[in-house]
Amino acid sequence: MTWWSVGLADASPVAARFLQAASKVIAIAAGALIVGMALQSRALHRDEE
């Protein structure tokens, strides 16, 4: 957790909750992107053979 998110948490619980939700969404999106890229590269390698 960074210092500015701690400051926001002190200032507003709503902002803290929003930051938490946003970071979860970003983590899920990043994970899905990595999995998608891995599957795509495997499919491409299969086509080459």
At residue 44, the pLDDT reads 84
With a pLDDT cut of 90, the percent of the chain lying above it is 43
pLDDT computed for residue 14 by the predictor: 80
Query: Which residue segment(s) compose the domain that 18 sits in?
Result: 3-48
Q: Total domain count for the chain?
A: 1
Residue by residue, DSSP assigns 7-49 as HHHHH-HHHHHHHHHHHHHHHHHHHHHHHHHHHHHHHHHHHH-
Distance between CA 38 and CA 20 in Å, rounded?
27
Please tell me whether residue 2 adopts helix, strand or coil conformation. coil
Main-chain dihedrals φ then ψ at residue 41, nearest 5 degrees: -65, -35
